[in-house]
Amino acid sequence: MLFKQQALLRQKLFVLGSLAIGSLLYLVARVGSLDRLQPLCPIDGRFGPRGQDEIPLRALQFKRGLLHEFRKGNATKEQIRLHNLVQQLPKAIIIGVRKGGTRALLEMLNLHPAVVKASQEIHFFDNDENYAKGIEWYRKKMPFSYSHQITIEKSPAYFITEEVPERIYKMNSSIKLLIIVREPTTRAISDYTQVLEGKERKNKTYYKFEKLAIDPNTCEVNTKYKAVRTSIYTKHLERWLKYFPIEQFHIVDGDRLITEPLPELQLVEKFLNLPPRISQYNLYFNATRGFYCLRFNIVFNKCLAGSKGRIHPEVDTSVITKLRKFFHPFNQKFYQITGRTFNWP
């Protein structure tokens, strides 16, 4: 009889202990995501008086899950309507540059609860066929969001395509424009590396970087090579400045975003008039990948695709020196125009 009572007591203690552990884990999860559950601060008064138009972060997290279901076809348009979600034209666009870190910047900004990103490159303004479909076609490519949130898309081809500045100006002359740049020679080699990998996947051969970057007839830098032209940042920016004042641009240091992302993201938050929400908690270094990954909350983490951070092929040092010398005067002018100086050789 005593043995049965002891066994029953042990069973009850085990059940109580399990409930206690479960409750503790739940509390830890709640505390770990407190910063994501605080209500949004107003953005320059655009949210209206505190408490009137604010959306708590729990609702934003629910919204993300709801939209995921909607894209899979598991949620109805009525559900979207009931939650006051709309498809908005972007209030900010990452316009370039290619291989500067546009995807990393977009994903990191998506950590902010007031930012909603378009998951794919739309190529509306740089593609004549898409542009002919009209602005409503473009709007319908945007994610659902709350009316006070900022929708952001990125298409790095925008920066170098001649027609794009005027087209974006016609849509919204006050839009905020983000440009992320890296050291020009490194960016050109990264550009080449991505193309090379694509050729190798198809079992195709490709020229060495040196043969493309240097004109064999003159032994000078080949300015007809697209990877070189894209790195002449000031030439492209001058075209944009015919339509937009420099105050509507923010230059992001793509090299620093890799090694020290938080300060760069905080500068972007300020430029977009967003309340500071991205913290060191949201960014953690993945030693295996060699890059920072994203932490949305205690449950959901995300790292960039494995294609990011490709190993560059070795390039002849004399070619690197020649390219850096070529880019130098353009870099100096870029510093003067933007008011931001980089430690590029």
Pick out the residues of the known binding site: 99-103, 182, 190, 292, 308-312
The answer to whether 214 and 151 are in contact (CB under 8 A) is no
At 1, is the secondary structure helix, strand, or coil?
Answer: coil
DSSP states of 231-259 as a string?
T-HHHHHHHHTTTS-GGGEEEEEHHHHHH
Selection from 243, 75, 68, 70 nearest residue 170 by Cα:
243
In this structure, is the dihedral angle defined by the CA atoms of residues 209, 210, 211 and 214, taken in order, positive or negative?
A: positive
Q: Which of 12, 72, 99, 141 is catalytic?
A: 99
| Peptide bond connecting 97 to the previous residue in cis, omega within 30 degrees of 0 | yes
Q: DSSP letters of 75-100?
A: S-HHHHHHTT-EE---SEEEEE-TTS
C-alpha–C-alpha distance, residues 230 and 325, integer Å? 16
**Residues 96 and 159: beta-carbon distance below 8 Å:** yes
Backbone angles phi, psi at 179, to 5 degrees: -125, 125
Report the binding-site residues for 3'-phosphoadenylyl sulfate. 99-103, 182, 190, 292, 308-312
Asked whether the beta carbons of 179 and 318 are under 8 A apart, the reply is no
Closest CA to 256 of 159, 328, 153, 341: 341
β-pairing, 301-302 vs 291-295, is antiparallel
**Residue whose entry in the numeric block shows the structure tokens 């690197």:** 320
For residue 25, the surrounding DSSP H or E stretch is: helix 2-32
Give catalytic status of residue 99 as yes or no: yes
Helix extents (H) in 128-253: 128-131, 135-139, 164-171, 184-201, 209-213, 226-230, 233-240
Find tokens 């000078």 and name the residue.
220
Catalytically active residues are 99
